[in-house]
Structure 1
Amino acid sequence: NLFWRVGSDSWVRCSTRHGHIKQIVVFKGRVFGMDSDRRIFKVHLTPQISIQELPVIESSMISKRNLSNAWLVACGDMLLLVGCRGSIVVSGVTFEVFRLDLSFEPALWFKVEKLEHWAIFISTDKRSQALSCMNPEIWGGRSNCIYCYNHESERWIALELGKPLQGDVFIFMGCDGKVQPMWVVPSMLSLCR
């Protein structure tokens, strides 16, 4: 993991003892990361860059065996893990969402049954950051849905949380040949306070 400070002439390398952080999100003014084994980390940018593993009770619900694809996403006042089974989204597949409750020590994952007035956008490239959107009805979208881009039809598909995908759809979740950067800039953190 490489970090760059504004005004610096060089990059700083900082990694966990388990390997690299695969996803980063800004949540409530703090930076969180997740590695390929679903461990959660706090990334401290000041006074010096450091990565600290967050104690979280392990849950079979979010294991790679249960959810082969997972995205960490900040959604209002919730830090969520969105996942699906398999590397292919086809008819019958459902998405599951879990909320990390940081009020417990160690933190706990709880299953989310409904996203209420939120929608979440995920990419078919697992390295891209997921995004959340409040009140998607304003622009013609639907709440309580996971949106996924279908390259074949060149359109977004809305999958309602907890309901299986209907129709003749095939979406491959993988990695293309391009690196997907995630930039965390100071203005992102100042807006979250």
Structure 2
Amino acid sequence: MQTPNNWFVASASTHLVVCGLQGWKDLPHELLHSILPLLSSLRDILAFAATCPPWRAAFSSYPSKYTLCPPLLIQPNIRVPAPHIPSDNGHQKLRTCKVIDPAKPNTTMHCQIDEETLHEMYFAGSSYGQLIFCSGQHCLVVDPFSGTKVSPPHFPLSIECGELSVPEFSHPPGVSYSSSEQSSYIKHFCGFLTAPLASPNSHLLVNTRFSLLDWPVGSDSWYELQLSNKWLCQIVEFNGQFIAMDYGNRIYRLQLAPQLGLQEIAITKLPGFRFLCNQNYSWLVVCGDILLRVTRFQIDHLDMSTKPAKWVEMKNLDSWALFLGGHVMSPPVSFMGPERWGGRSKCLYYARYSPAWSVYSLGDDDNPSLRYMRAWCRRLQPLWLYPSMLYRDGQ
């Protein structure tokens, strides 16, 4: 690994002697933490963490590790030959999917997801490096990089899993689906984790047709909040609170304690504000301390300092880039300063199969180049995901 500064090479022995250190493994965490932001790819970060136990400890204690590198692109329909790894886990066949790191796109990577999950369950979302699948009364949380799976209790029998009418069904070129998958109705689930699975306060939230379900991870049952005409399509964490959006683009504040609750946030509709009642074309994304609502045509940030709150148009994303998956339930990912790994700011990276992604400029009103479609379907589509290890602390 290259050293971050030439001066350190020239005077390393002197500094080690003066400080009483024995070698590279004894470097203080403060210095190691200053090195980490200079690494631009996940492979470099993993190499840093694998150097020795003290360096791994420094990596684990670094806050917000997922800000160090861009998310990885998972292409579930592209299989990677991997004869050196097992093709099953003892009772289920595994699909080895292609993974691409935008910082090192020519490096071969892969992950594994069992075929039964991909074929029989509906993709409901992703959080903290985990993929969430649902089917009937059953839910499954899958880590595609470690292979671990968590199976919550079955949904209450009273829960009805709704269907959404989908007038336009789209899928990547070269990918075929059965006639049942191409029907005009798609099962609707929206899944979200409030914290990494290992956290003591982690909850799994799943929105079905008439209910929002809350499973405190590790418990024996679900809590239910009955909803009326509030089909949630997205939940994000913003400034210590959870914000949800439904298919009418209404915004809510979600509370977990003392009991599960949902309160609509009153928002002023400004003149000229474009209202699109279709999650195919709009989504919420957190960029630092700003909550954005992004559409094909406009970027707005939510100003909650006023009563009622209001959407305020933004002309561009400044130094941010957005990463968007091909499935409606794929949450967008934001990244600040993509130039350090060769990326571009003020752009949207849309996940595909071939090419692996398309890059669109954002903030241009009526930009004719923004022609992409997010798919409504059972099967997982290309998506951006950070490995769960980047959300763990002290391990």
TM category (shorter chain) comes to 0.7 to 0.9
Q: Which consecutive unaligned segments of at least 5 residues does structure 1 have?
A: 85-94, 181-187, 189-193
Indicate the SS of the match to 1:137: helix
Equivalent-residue separation in structure 1 for 2:277 and 2:246 (angstroms)? 15
Give how far 1:8 is off: 2.4
Please list the CA deviations of residues 95-149 of structure 1 after superposition, one character each: whole Å capped at 9, or x if unmatched: 4211010101111001110111101111221221111101111221111111111
Give how far 1:179 is off: 7.8
> Hey, what does 1:161 align to over in structure 2?
362
1:112–1:16 CA distance, 2 compared to 1 (3 A): farther
Give how far 1:171 is off: 3.2
- Using the aligned pairs only, state the percent identity: 36
Which amino acid in structure 2 is aligned with residue 80 of structure 1? Answer: L
> Hey, what does 1:30 align to over in structure 2?
241
Per chain length, whose mean CA-contact separation is higher, i.e. which structure has more relative contact order (CA < 8 Å, sep 6+)?
Answer: 1
1:67–1:32 CA distance, 2 compared to 1 (3 A): closer
1:120 lines up with 2:322 in the alignment: yes
Equivalent-residue separation in structure 2 for 1:65 and 1:175 (angstroms)? 15
Q: Where do residues 40-59 of structure 1 align in structure 2 (5 Å cutoff)?
A: 40-59=251-270
Higher relative helix content? 2
1:42–1:179 CA distance, 2 compared to 1 (3 A): farther
1:111 to 309, 313, 329: 313
Higher relative strand content? 1
Q: Is contact 2:346-2:363 (8 Å) kept?
A: no
Q: Is contact 2:247-2:279 (8 Å) kept?
A: no
Equivalent-residue separation in structure 2 for 1:154 and 1:136 (angstroms)? 20
Please list the CA deviations of residues 33-59 of structure 1 after superposition, one character each: whole Å capped at 9, or x if unmatched: 000000000110112111111111135
> Hey, what does 2:18 align to over in structure 1?
none
1:138 lines up with 2:340 in the alignment: yes
Indicate the SS of the match to 2:329: coil
> Hey, what does 2:287 align to over in structure 1?
75
Which amino acid in structure 2 is aligned with residue 18 of structure 1? Answer: N
Give RMSD over aligned pairs.
Answer: 2.5
Q: Is contact 1:159-1:165 (8 Å) kept?
A: no
Equivalent-residue separation in structure 1 for 2:302 and 2:328 (angstroms)? 20
Equivalent-residue separation in structure 2 for 1:75 and 1:161 (angstroms)? 14
- List, as ranges, runs of 4+ consecutive aligned residues in structure 1 with deviation greater than 4 Å: 65-68
Pick the structure with greater CA Rg: 2
Indicate the SS of the match to 1:174: coil
Q: Which consecutive unaligned segments of at least 5 residues does structure 2 have?
A: 1-211, 382-390
Indicate the SS of the match to 1:71: strand
Give how far 1:157 is off: 1.4
1:13 lines up with 2:187 in the alignment: no
Indicate the SS of the match to 1:138: helix
2:376 to 166, 175, 178: 175
TM-score normalised by the chain length of structure 2: 0.39
Q: Is contact 2:280-2:374 (8 Å) kept?
A: no
TM-score normalised by the chain length of structure 1: 0.77
- Tell me the matched-pair count: 168
Indicate the SS of the match to 2:263: strand
Indicate the SS of the match to 2:254: strand
